[in-house]
Amino acid sequence: MRPDILNPLFAETDTLEGVGPKLKKPLEKLGLTRLRDVAYHLPERFVTRRAVETLDEAGEGEQIVIAVTVTEHRASGNRRAPYRVFAQDSAGNVLVLTFFGRASYTAKKQLPMDAKRWVAGKLDRYGDMLQIVHPDHVLEEGGETLGHLCEPVYRLSEGLTQPRVSGLVEQSLAKLPDLPEWIETHQLDKEEWPAWSDAIKLAHKGEHGKARDRLAYDELLANSLALMLVRADNRKRRGQPLMGDGGLRDKLDLPFEMTGAQTRSIREIEGDLAQEAPMLRLLQGDVGAGKTVVALAGMLIAVEASTQAALLAPTEILARQHYETMRKLAEPTGARVALLTGRDKGKVREATLMGLLDGSIDIVVGTHAIFQDKVAYKNLTMVVIDEQHRFGVGQRLMLANKGKAAPHVLAMTATPIPRTLTLAQYGELDVSKLDELPPGRQAIETRVVGQARLDEVAAGVERHITTGQQAYWVCPMVRESDFMTEDIAAAEARYAHLAERFGKDVVLVHGQLTPELKDAAMERFASGDAKVLVATTVIEVGVDVPNATLMVIEQAERFGLAQLHQLRGRVGRGAEKSVCLLVRGDTLSETARERLALMRETQDGFRLAEEDLRLRGGGELLGTRQSGDTPFSVASLDQITKLLPVAYADAQMLMEHHGGLDGARGEAARMLLYLFDRDWGVRTLRGG
Ligand code: ADP
Ligand code: MG
């Protein structure tokens, strides 16, 4: 149970003044559903503005505050096109104020014709005029007070403004409870860290490195503790020891020799399965490293022991692909493999459910449908989770309640993770690494081409598909912006452009399509019906289409190394030689240059992951969204590198000297688990 003292932090956002159903949505989009989330929505950066009399005093890119008079409203017929308000400064210079989407309503209200207003924001160019896109402030008076002030800049979503978010943050900060301290006094003194509530308040006020470090440390400590609790709990659990006699594995009829890494991993899995404590193991291996047969060998051990195994895939398509592969591979062994997804209905579904219950199905492959309440197993003892970074540890734990005894869990991921992050992300798991690719793999030819040659690239794609092969075309994030719609718009524009050339041969996939539409487009591509797949990065984890042998990545300099590597891994899966074209913009930073050079140089995912961390540690992407790559929302990569080893060691101390989380400090640390949504760690304490 959550300690009562934390309740104010877990009130929903609509308990804040001014938040109704209309604001709740955009807040949710940012992951802000409770006061706690709002308080921890730390600024991306701070701005200091300069108050100027006229635009002549200001330059492009500058953050200013200026008094203007509204002279014209210019709406456009198109819903997607921006709404523009024209204004003049005291010298008659024109300033354009630009609004996208729903922000235009606010613009109409706040900037009536002929009104005099103070506006604050960043100047940039619009044709031969200056503009501010989405001013941070529009005030009737008092603009002076906004000049020379250090002001937080928050990540937004459509429908939110900076002042709105600031106001909500203020409100939630006023409600922070007085929590007991979980960090030892001498450590606080040594690091010069503020107390928890001070740290949060300071982190919203300015660049307080100490405050932010403390908050990051808290998060890393919470994560380490939770993982250790899970691990400790797992040691106490009882699973079913599985002894396979090798009878089924011997019948596998593989057209290749296992690599050393595969053999080693299977041996490690076999060792775990023989124990009573349930296996908790991560199988880490780059795309194409051969994880599938390793997983199958593991599942066959369960079947040899006359029990059942399940393979859980993150999407419908992946489930089907895995099912086909597993069914074919397992055929000579006689093991019976079935598919179960949310799409199965009626008789087929009934038959599968019956087979799982009476044990006539040995291995089931599917989406999370395989763990619904209505699905009962005769004796499920092993679960394989594919691309498990999509599932949280909490979900992994839920699976543990399906079988009679806790099932053995093998998680697989194709994302090579730097060593430091492995600890953070999978600290509760043992790790098997497939660090050796099967022999005879063709290298993917990687070339970097300039943006100016985009037409040649398109012509190249056309030649390519006339040979019967397929191609991916990846559009980048337009800018790390508050308005995702711009990314989608860019991908749609590119799609329209390519559709002129390729007609119905091209399909579009992006993050805002419904799952049905996305699946439909993916399926057209997977079946070979569509030749070119235009996508935003949603294909990162995804389909296996060996016939797709060309990958075009636009504005490749905007992607991180790990991301580029994942994308490139979509090709190079068939017999034909594959090519990856990295299309680069005109101006590149030093780090961007280095990234592209590395991509050309190596295909080793583990090496790229380490380099990625090194390059990003340099801070290039600081302030941009990182949560996709790490399980943390507060701690940056820098802070993870610096503070995780400390937090991990401290968590170990706490576990050893405070008997789990007993005692005063243990009680305090317990708060922390709730604060960072690691309460699944606490639940294990109750033997759940
Ligand atoms: P991933 O790790 O990405 O899941 P897969 O298991 O899909 O990789 O394997 C990729 C391809 O490599 C498959 O076609 C598989 O049959 C093949 N493969 C797996 N192991 C070996 C091996 N030891 N030697 C040669 N080919 C292999
Ligand atoms: Mg795979």
| CA gap 429, 231 in Å, rounded | 8
Residue 545 covered by a domain: yes
Boundary-marking domain end, from 148, 183, 200: 148
CB of 287 shorter than 6 A to ligand 1: yes
Token pair 């590198």 is found at 641
Q: How many angstroms is it from 522 CA to the middle of ligand 1? A: 22
- The candidate with the shortest Cα–Cα distance to 115, out of 68, 57, 80, is 68
pLDDT at 624: 37
**Residue 392 and residue 469 share a domain:** no
Q: Which stretch, 456-465, 485-494, 673-682, has highest mean pLDDT?
A: 456-465
| Closest residue by CA, ligand 1 atom 18 | 290
**Residue 347 and residue 411 share a domain:** yes
Inform me whether the pLDDT recorded for 682 exceeds 80: no
- State the distance between the two ends of the chain, measured CA to CA, in whole angstroms: 12
How many residues in the chain? Answer: 688
- The candidate with the shortest Cα–Cα distance to 440, out of 577, 304, 532, is 577
pLDDT at 610: 81
pLDDT at 87: 96
CATH code where residue 82 lies: 2.40.50.140
Q: What angle do CA 675, 678, 683 make, to 5 degrees?
A: 115
Residue 630 covered by a domain: no
CB of 259 shorter than 6 A to ligand 1: yes
pLDDT at 479: 44
**Residue 477 and residue 387 share a domain:** no
Q: How many angstroms is it from 538 CA to the middle of ligand 2? A: 17
pLDDT tens readout for residues 504-516:
999 998 877 787 8
In this structure, the number of other CB atoms found within 10 A of the CB of residue 289 comes to 24
Inform me whether the pLDDT recorded for 300 exceeds 70: yes
**DSSP string over 629-666:** TSS-SS--HHHHHHHHHHHHHHHHHHHHHTTTT-HHHH
Identify each DSSP E strand in 100-185 by its residue range.
116-126, 129-133, 137-139, 150-153
CB of 458 shorter than 6 A to ligand 1: no
Inform me whether the pLDDT recorded for 80 exceeds 90: no
Q: Measured in whole angstroms, how far is the alpha carbon of residue 160 from the centre of its chain?
A: 22
**Residue 457 and residue 574 share a domain:** yes
Partners of residue 432 on adjacent β-strands: 283
Inform me whether the pLDDT recorded for 620 exceeds 90: no
**Residue 409 and residue 307 share a domain:** yes
Residue 508 covered by a domain: yes
Please give the tally of structural domains in the chain.
3
In which element (H, E) is residue 549 found?
strand 548-553
Residue 110 covered by a domain: yes
Partners of residue 129 on adjacent β-strands: 126
Of 110-124, 201-215, 480-494, least confident by mean pLDDT is 480-494
pLDDT tens readout for residues 355-407:
999 999 999 999 888 887 788 999 999 999 887 655 555 555 556 555 567 88
Average pLDDT over residues 312-341: 92
Residue 613 covered by a domain: no
CB of 292 shorter than 6 A to ligand 1: yes
**DSSP string over 179-208:** PPP-S-HHHHHHHTPPPHHHHHHHHHHS--
CATH code where residue 256 lies: 3.40.50.300
3-state secondary structure 393-424: HHHHHHHCCCCCCCCEEEEEECCCCCHHHHHH
Boundary-marking domain end, from 602, 623, 648: 602
Inform me whether the pLDDT recorded for 687 exceeds 70: no
In this structure, the number of other CB atoms found within 10 A of the CB of residue 263 comes to 13
Residue 27 covered by a domain: no
| Residues whose CB falls within 8 Å of the CB of residue 372, separated by 6 or more in sequence, listed in order | none
Residue 109 covered by a domain: yes
**Residue 353 and residue 464 share a domain:** no
Q: How many angstroms is it from 295 CA to the middle of ligand 2? A: 10
Of 222-231, 416-425, 477-486, least confident by mean pLDDT is 477-486
**Can you tell me which atom of ligand 1 is nearest the CA of 258?**
23
- Which 3 state secondary structure label does DSSP give 596? helix
| Residue 671, both tokens | 């708060």
- Asked if residues 327 and 273 have their Cβ atoms less than 8 Å apart, the reply is no
Average pLDDT over residues 92-108: 87
| Closest residue by CA, ligand 1 atom 22 | 438
| Residue 256, both tokens | 């290749």
Amino acid at 180: P
**Residue 421 and residue 454 share a domain:** no
pTM greater than 0.75 (yes/no): no
Radius of gyration, CA atoms only, the chain = 28
CB of 432 shorter than 6 A to ligand 1: no
Boundary-marking domain end, from 87, 117, 148: 148
| CA gap 149, 273 in Å, rounded | 61
Q: In percent, how much of the chain has pLDDT > 90?
A: 51
Substitution candidate for ligand 1 out of 259, 283, 292 with most atoms within 8 A of CB: 292
Domain extent at residue 470: 445-602
- The dihedrals phi and psi of 385, each to the nearest 5 degrees, come to -115, 120
pLDDT tens readout for residues 11-58:
999 999 999 999 999 999 899 999 999 999 999 889 888 889 999 999
Q: Which residue has the higher pLDDT, 459 or 106?
A: 459
| Residue 391, both tokens | 């599932």
| Closest residue by CA, ligand 1 atom 15 | 290
Token pair 């593989």 is found at 254
**Residue 594 and residue 452 share a domain:** yes
User: Average pLDDT of the chain?
Assistant: 86
- Asked if residues 549 and 570 have their Cβ atoms less than 8 Å apart, the reply is no
- The dihedrals phi and psi of 320, each to the nearest 5 degrees, come to -65, -45
| CA gap 596, 533 in Å, rounded | 23
Q: How confident is the model at residue 219 (pLDDT cuts 50, 70, 90)?
A: very high
**Residue 293 and residue 351 share a domain:** yes
**Residue 572 and residue 464 share a domain:** yes
pLDDT at 522: 87
- The dihedrals phi and psi of 84, each to the nearest 5 degrees, come to -120, 135
Q: How confident is the model at residue 604 (pLDDT cuts 50, 70, 90)?
A: confident
| Closest residue by CA, ligand 1 atom 9 | 290
| CA gap 547, 545 in Å, rounded | 5
In which element (H, E) is residue 612 found?
helix 605-617
- Which 3 state secondary structure label does DSSP give 45? strand
**Residue 416 and residue 527 share a domain:** no
Give the pairing type, strands 116-126 and 63-74.
antiparallel
Give the chain's largest Cα–Cα span: 89
Partners of residue 119 on adjacent β-strands: 66, 138
In this structure, the number of other CB atoms found within 10 A of the CB of residue 435 comes to 17
**Angle, nearest 10°, between helix axes 209-236 and 196-205?**
130
CB of 290 shorter than 6 A to ligand 1: yes
- Which 3 state secondary structure label does DSSP give 506? strand
**Residue 303 and residue 379 share a domain:** yes
CB of 566 shorter than 6 A to ligand 1: no
**Can you tell me which atom of ligand 1 is nearest the CA of 440?**
25
Give how far Cα 514 sits from Cα of 102, 158, 345, 449, 625, Å.
22, 19, 21, 33, 23
Token pair 């060593």 is found at 419
Residue 295 covered by a domain: yes
- Which 3 state secondary structure label does DSSP give 67? strand
| Closest residue by CA, ligand 1 atom 23 | 258
Partners of residue 428 on adjacent β-strands: none
